[in-house]
Amino acid sequence: MSPGYQVIVSGAALTPFNRRKDSSSFRDWTFAAFSEALLKSDIDRNEIDALFVASESDFFTLQLNPASVIASDLGIEGVSTVRVEGGGASGQLAVHAATRAIQSGHVKHAAVVGVDPSASMLDSETIKKLYGFSFDAWVDGMTGVSSTALYALSFQSFMQRIAIDENRHLAQVTIQNRANALNNPNAHLGRGHSVDEIVESPFIASPYRRLHCSPLSDGAAVTILSRSDSLPASRKKAPIIVGIGGASDAVHLGARKDPGHFQAKQSAMLRACAEAKITPDCIGIAEVYDAYAGAQLQAIDALGLSDDICKDLDSNRFAPTGQCPINLSGGLMGQGAPTGAIGVGQTASIALMLEGNYVPALQPQTIPRYAIADTHGGVCTTSAVTILEKSVYV
């Protein structure tokens, strides 16, 4: 870890990720997740001294200054407040900001909130247009280019380098993630798909079909990060953040040396590993950003989690009982994708897994030493990777 204090994930919680039809708001979900995370942390509300809020779009919340409003809702007025935004990477970037604040010694306990009403506030066509603005608004969003089309172009380039069977391997990712989600009570899309069902679903942008895509979701996630010297004795088994890394890439795919390679993700992973003093082959669990089935394969490649993706897919290395389970939560494709909550939710899920307190049907029986949470914004234009280590007391 870089010089400074050790950072502990003392509390973690997620609301269900789904499409809310009960007239509740992002403020209700945030309060629910915060209350649960705070209870798990064994920390008093008045001990929280910083709040970091990840929310991708003001259009979703209709709230231009969400951090101060949320601080008031949570009853922690007086804390320092920061709003973090980086597209799909927003939540993980908020975790990073809080981590550095604690390492500096100026913060003892930080609440990290990720939230977005990505499904219920606006109609799907409007959201599709707004997501186009998260790339280059002039070149992409205002010309009508969709995020699915851009991701599809990138994956087409990836397939020129990696011999992916677009029907079989994309179906394997989809089936596994949605099957994991079946065992996750917080998941949006738990499904038991067949290969035929997937390959017969309509094309959105080749090679992506409808069932290769993640849903629009509502939800919130919260982690409480604590300075090691301020951690309650009851939380000694809480996992540790041992490395974080971030990087960016050219916004336009055509400006990249290899449009199919997630270079920003590779750089972020290497930086996180250098800080944690480990190599990618040390990772035993991963939650990766799978906005589309192929994006998960591109992530596995860039993160260095496989030397032969096709072989490892076919041997079930990334399955729940494999050597390196990926997206046990169901990922974006199964658990859901409320954008600001994704990265915080990944970190919360990994922390619960490393502590042995995740959803019983999905909790790894053998807990590895290291795990990662990985997100990105754009077509991996902004990347953020967090490495967690299980407590030495476990």
CA–CA distance, 131 with 295 (Å, rounded to integer): 17
Nearest to 221 by CA among 15, 68, 73: 15
Nearest to 304 by CA among 277, 346, 271, 266: 266
pLDDT at 1 over 60: no
Does residue 377 contact residue 299 with C-beta atoms inside 8 Å?
no
Q: For 53-64, how does the pLDDT look when each residue is reduced to its tens digit (9 = 90+)?
A: 999 989 889 899
DSSP code per residue over 180-197: HHHT-TT-S------HHH
What does R_g of the chain's alpha carbons equal in angstroms?
A: 19
Q: Which of 140-149, 225-234, 330-339 has the lowest mean pLDDT?
A: 140-149
CA–CA distance, 356 with 237 (Å, rounded to integer): 10
Nearest to 330 by CA among 152, 148, 114, 185: 185
Name the DSSP class of 207: T
Angle at which helices 293-303 and 168-182 cross, to 10°: 100
pTM above 0.95, yes or no: yes
- Give the residue extent of every domain in the chain: 7-122+215-388
pLDDT at 250 over 80: yes
* End-to-end Cα separation, the chain, in angstroms: 20
Strands 80-84 and 50-54 come out as parallel
CA–CA distance, 182 with 7 (Å, rounded to integer): 32
List Cα–Cα distances, 95 to 246, 330, 355, in angstroms: 11, 21, 18
Nearest to 347 by CA among 11, 5, 75, 59: 11
CA–CA distance, 26 with 120 (Å, rounded to integer): 10
Domain 7-122+215-388 listed as CATH 3.40.47.10: yes
CA–CA distance, 128 with 176 (Å, rounded to integer): 26
The more confident residue out of 218 and 121 is 218
Does residue 33 contact residue 222 with C-beta atoms inside 8 Å?
yes
Farthest-apart Cα atoms in the chain, separation: 56
The more confident residue out of 133 and 221 is 221
Please report which confidence band the pLDDT of residue 2 belongs to, taking 50, 70 and 90 as the band edges: very low
CA–CA distance, 259 with 243 (Å, rounded to integer): 27
In the block, tokens 């069902």 appear at 197
CA–CA distance, 393 with 362 (Å, rounded to integer): 22
Nearest to 310 by CA among 320, 300, 323, 302: 300
CA–CA distance, 177 with 142 (Å, rounded to integer): 33
CA–CA distance, 334 with 328 (Å, rounded to integer): 10
CA–CA distance, 37 with 364 (Å, rounded to integer): 21
pLDDT at 394: 56
Identify residue 265 by its one-letter amino acid code.
K
pLDDT at 140 over 90: no
pLDDT at 42 over 60: yes
- Quote the tokens at residue 298: 């591109």
Q: Residue range 28-34: average pLDDT?
A: 98
- What percent of the chain is predicted at pLDDT more than 70? 99
